[in-house]
Amino acid sequence: MTKTITVLRSIETPDGGRCVDLFRRADNSFGFEEYRRDTEDGRGWFPIGHYSGTGHASEAEALAGALSAVSWLDEFVS
């Protein structure tokens, strides 16, 4: 069975090296994941936080969880 997610918001550092995606799953639960990208190798984004399995009831709760878990994120959330 394919796990389908819809990314609702992606928050990226200005240097393009890290991002956090907030997403909704097919079962209408929400989650987030932190990613890293090595721009010099061109291979794309790699999950580094291992948070994608956590479940939240809303996008706002997923954002709160991400802010609590990802140390750099609060600097880039408006």
d(CA 72, CA 36): 13
pLDDT in tens, 33-73: 999 998 777 788 999 989 999 999 999 999 999 999 999 99
**2 confidence band (pLDDT: 50, 70, 90):** low
What residues form DSSP beta bridges with 36? 18, 46
